[in-house]
Structure 1
Amino acid sequence: MADEPLISFRNRWTVTSIAVVAAVFVVAAALGFVILPNLGAREKVAGIWDSICRAAGLPQRSAPVETVTSDYKTSQVKLATAVSLKRDQAAIGRGATLAQQCAICHGPTGVSRADSPNLAGQYASVIYKQLRDFKDGVRTNAVMSPFAAKLSEQDMQDLAAYYSYLPRLPSYHPAGEIPVPRIVAGGAPTRGIAPCGSCHGSIENKLGSPWLEGQSELYLKTQLLAFVSGLRRNDISEQMRNVARAMTLEEIDEAAKYYASKPPPYLTTD
């Protein structure tokens, strides 16, 4: 026995060790590549090889692809090509005629006297997108939905051309009257909120983002809360929903009040 080599199949300790290691390997392989992947899989696996690939994180051609669809309509507007960048005088004229139907809510020159949004000087891509979303049922409103449903593609283009042609309300923030809210000037980086002005003007305008200066405080607050609750869902990639849900109610009030600041009537063009 003393002369028998340490590693030898005649040595019972060697045989026992190899057997134990092999058993552990088989059990671990079965758990890691077969049992656990099957327990976590939503669909049946094709075989052992499929289980091994799942455990390793490798996609399988034979595996069915799960398609994720939303339970509501999403905007189909392609902002980059939605409207022409050239000023079309004929379209402006046609839009002016159509806009007579809009005057009761949005004002005869696109500046509302109520809590409807001001459309004068609004970006053409914004006007078109909202009309198209109302028409497609992506955004709903008791007044706008039936009105937009009757509009043709040309009508929406003409209205966008007309309202974007009108002079917009200027920024009006006298020093000391309403301080710039932190959420407007600097955002909240720790919550993933960029400054409002980086999309909505004053700093930069992001395509599809509306001009907010001079809008109704009630309208702005209502829309932000609609994004929070999910009642409004026509923002592309949920951008505004994510921002609004990260804002506090105080920040929503402050932003709405700040943007609603308007110049006296004698300084406006209305």
Structure 2
Amino acid sequence: MSARDLFTFRNRHFTTSTGITAAIFIVTAIAGFIVLPFAQHWLEFASVWDAICSAAGVPQRPAAVAAAQDKRVSEVVLTSHTLSRPNQEAIGRGATLAQRCAICHGPTGISRADSPNLAGQYAAVIYKELHDFRSGARTNAVMSPFAVNLTDREIADLAVYYAYLPRLPAYHPTPQLPKPNIVIYGAPMRGIAPCGSCHGSLDNKTGSPWLEGQSEAYMKAQLQAFAAAERRNDISQQMRNIARAMTPQEIEEAAAYYASQPPDIVKAVD
């Protein structure tokens, strides 16, 4: 038999081996790109194509995200130098403005309810969130009406004032809990980085809030809102992508852990 006849479908051995190879490829492709993604019960896909894209490493486009595309997203640009050198006049003006915030966030920036603690929070974080509330990129029944009338200078003054305050223990601390795996290691197979890679006390990504001592109920609600794309003011959809991939148990563990941690008693700005 010549080499030309060897690789033709007239050769039953070539036909059989080609058929087996094609069948194995099809079965493994279906299992890897469709069956296994849908077997991950903590993920929700808008379609089979969405599952295939997810398995291939292409960013997901869940139905909730697609429906939210016509809504506003954050347009705030932050750098490591954003509000890094506040002056005393700005802090003083912020202190006066903050009297209107005390009912929810406490007179010293520590909330007695489940509002976020703002004392010692990074100035860039408060600056961004207030801008997002004002623009509609983030919405809240209380914060949106409050922020809509703030000027750029007032937003900056509030941010540097709260960043100037010392971080104090929370009013409702839970017993200190061990660090869960999702915080230490993340979940690389699901594209989840360790929480501390952005929210760490030693290495913080600009725009990421410090979380120690925050309200467990508040943090859990925000992670669930990111997962459902109800909150969408995260830059490049980072938190939405992470929260969607987290299991409900991981969300509860992360929120409970950070709520149980004492704050790092330092000022965010000097």
In the superposition, the TM-score normalised over structure 1's length comes to 0.68
The match for 1:102 is 101
Note if contact 1:228-1:241 (Cα within 8 Å) is conserved in structure 2. yes
Note if contact 1:83-1:157 (Cα within 8 Å) is conserved in structure 2. no
Matched, 1:155 2:154: yes
**Are the structure 2 counterparts of residues 105 and 136 from structure 1 closer, same or farther at C-alpha, using a change threshold of 3 Å?**
same
**Are the structure 2 counterparts of residues 168 and 255 from structure 1 closer, same or farther at C-alpha, using a change threshold of 3 Å?**
same
CA distance in 1, matches of 2:202, 2:107: 30
CA drift at 1:80: 1.4
193-202 or 128-137, which deviates more: 193-202
Structure 2, gaps ≥5 residues long: 1-67, 266-270
SS class of match (1:260) = helix
**Residue-by-residue CA offset, 1:86-138 (whole Å, 9 max, x unaligned):** 13110000000000000000000101010000000100000000000000000
CA distance in 1, matches of 2:151, 2:232: 23
The match for 2:78 is 79
Note if contact 2:116-2:215 (Cα within 8 Å) is conserved in structure 1. yes
Which structure ranks higher in relative contact order (CA pairs < 8 Å, sequence separation ≥ 6)?
Answer: 2
Structure 1, gaps ≥5 residues long: 1-68
CA drift at 1:208: 0.4
**Are the structure 2 counterparts of residues 106 and 177 from structure 1 closer, same or farther at C-alpha, using a change threshold of 3 Å?**
closer
The match for 1:222 is 221
CA distance in 1, matches of 2:148, 2:120: 24
The match for 1:136 is 135
1:29-178 pair list within 5 angstroms: 70-80=69-79, 83-169=82-168, 177-178=176-177
**Residue-by-residue CA offset, 1:195-250 (whole Å, 9 max, x unaligned):** 11110123520010001000000000000000011110000100000000010000
Note if contact 1:170-1:213 (Cα within 8 Å) is conserved in structure 2. no
Note if contact 2:216-2:256 (Cα within 8 Å) is conserved in structure 1. yes
Note if contact 1:184-1:197 (Cα within 8 Å) is conserved in structure 2. yes
CA distance in 2, matches of 1:170, 1:201: 18
Note if contact 2:198-2:208 (Cα within 8 Å) is conserved in structure 1. yes
SS class of match (1:116) = coil
CA distance in 2, matches of 1:117, 1:76: 22
Code of the aligned partner of 2:230: L
Paired-residue identity, %? 67
The match for 1:249 is 248
How many pairs are equivalent?
A: 194
CA drift at 1:159: 0.2
**Residue-by-residue CA offset, 1:129-167 (whole Å, 9 max, x unaligned):** 000000000000000000000100010000001000011
Note if contact 1:91-1:158 (Cα within 8 Å) is conserved in structure 2. yes
Note if contact 1:169-1:213 (Cα within 8 Å) is conserved in structure 2. no
